[in-house]
Structure 1
Amino acid sequence: MKIFDISMPLYNGVPGWPGDTPYAFDLAWTKEQSGSVNVGRLEMSTHTGTHIDAPFHFDNEGKRVTDLPLDLYTGPSLVIDVTGALEITIESIEGKIKNGTKRVIFKTKCWSDRNIFPEKIVPVSPEVVPFLKQHGVGLIGVDMPSVDPLDSKELQAHHALHQHNIHILEGLVLDEVSEGEYELMALPLPLQDGDGSPVRAILKEMS
């Protein structure tokens, strides 16, 4: 069974949200300094690269990372290719999703150059959210830094998903992944007060 690493590599200079804390890695101690080991030091936003959003990210009363059940982020998942769509709507996915689908990942291919932050994305229509919930969806993943337009302050898709208890995984890399069913693993770090968390996300072909 083939395993696809669908995580963005993290490196100094990785594109993040404009104005957010940039990713930085260096050695706090070198082997020469410590006499025995290299020890790295990280500074980053919790929304750098491939990450989950906890509801607290956009709702002061929302759950934080360690409040979220881990089974959300591991299990059977459906990848739906919506390449060319201007928005993720009912019409763009109708007939591709069946009842009992708990996790859906949308492949848009709109973030073509991962060395720069995108100018625009393919947002999730708030109107599609009840349709997803009717089919049993509890998690959506996207190959973009957000589910809402990049200039949105209202975050209508985020709030609609939260109201329907559907959680969010963003920043996936799906270039080598075809439409179909897979096993997802994308576990967040146990950040007790976290509004989000980076993840190492993989998809595994179903046996």
Structure 2
Amino acid sequence: MPEAARPIWDISPPVHAGSPVFPGDTPYSQTWGATIGPGCPVNVSAITLSPHVGAHADAPLHYDADGAPVGALALAPFLGPCRVIHAIGCGALIAWQHIAHAIDTRPAALPPRVLVRTCARMPVDRWDDALTAYAPETVERLADLGVLLIGIDTASIDPASSKQLPSHQVIRRRGLRVLENLVLDDVPEGDYELIALPLKLTTADASPVRAVLRALS
């Protein structure tokens, strides 16, 4: 199939003043510094937001005081073949049993990027304090299989109430990258090309991404 004809799934939630954020985090807001009118040919706005609003990539700096900022990260993990796995209604944590049906443990059989859908419909309009997260043991096993990036359709790979962030500490130790707040509602299980590049924010702990999936053929 010609590249231009390959179907694309936009897996980024809308970002606006009503976008949910972690309680206490900075929501999206926008002001206008200039508007089109007599003597002004353009609209120019200023935006304020946490880099964790909407679909985003966490940097090691988010969970490691000495970690790299998002602008220093290599882009390769955020671009390339990935597998979408459904674990809808799996409960508080994604255990290995919830994704094993879609995991091939033969060498190089699993793409180096794994996105897990846990929501029947991702709550794009509200904060979900009971969000589903990854069990740290699941992240360890994915890393053992060569996975470089994990993603999820909730706001965090750890429970919202967690203070130790065990799954974040696994990705810190194993050198994985992470995408959160993806919208996988309309994406069938299977393999795709992921494109979700973070901005080159040289001192930030995360970055918004425009995450998309493209059919492989």
Q: TM-score range by the shorter chain?
A: over 0.9
Alpha-carbon offset, residue 130 of structure 1: 2.1
Are 2:22 and 1:12 equivalent residues in the alignment?
no
SS in 2 for 1:197: strand
The alpha-carbon distance between structure 1 residues 106 and 93, as it changes in their structure 2 partners (threshold 3 A), is: same
CA distance in 2, matches of 1:113, 1:146: 13
TM-score normalised by L of structure 1: 0.95
The answer to whether the 8 Å contact 1:110/1:144 transfers is no
The aligned residue for residue 171 of structure 1 is: 181
**In the alignment, residue 77 of structure 1 is paired with which amino acid?**
C
The aligned residue for residue 191 of structure 1 is: 201
Equivalent residue for 1:24, pick from 29, 54, 59: 29
Alpha-carbon offset, residue 145 of structure 1: 0.4
Alpha-carbon offset, residue 122 of structure 1: 1.4
**In the alignment, residue 116 of structure 2 is paired with which amino acid?**
F
The aligned residue for residue 71 of structure 1 is: 76
**In the alignment, residue 117 of structure 1 is paired with which amino acid?**
W
Alpha-carbon offset, residue 95 of structure 1: 4.1
Equivalent residue for 1:151, pick from 148, 153, 161: 161
The answer to whether the 8 Å contact 2:122/2:153 transfers is no
TM-score normalised by L of structure 2: 0.91
Once the two structures are superposed, residues 121-179 of structure 1 have per-residue CA deviations (whole angstroms, 9 ceiling, x without a partner) of 11111111221012110100100000001011110110012111111100000111010
The aligned residue for residue 122 of structure 1 is: 132
Q: Judge which range, 30-39 or 144-153, deviates more.
A: 30-39
Equivalent residue for 1:105, pick from 95, 115, 118: 115
Q: Which runs of 5+ in 2 are unaligned?
A: 1-5
SS in 1 for 2:207: strand
Root-mean-square deviation (CA), in Å?
1.4
The answer to whether the 8 Å contact 2:17/2:28 transfers is yes
CA distance in 1, matches of 2:39, 2:24: 35
Alpha-carbon offset, residue 34 of structure 1: 5.3
The answer to whether the 8 Å contact 2:134/2:167 transfers is yes
CA distance in 2, matches of 1:28, 1:104: 41
Q: Which runs of 5+ in 1 are unaligned?
A: none
Alpha-carbon offset, residue 33 of structure 1: 6.6
Are 2:89 and 1:84 equivalent residues in the alignment?
yes
CA distance in 2, matches of 1:33, 1:165: 53
The aligned residue for residue 3 of structure 2 is: none
SS in 2 for 1:109: coil
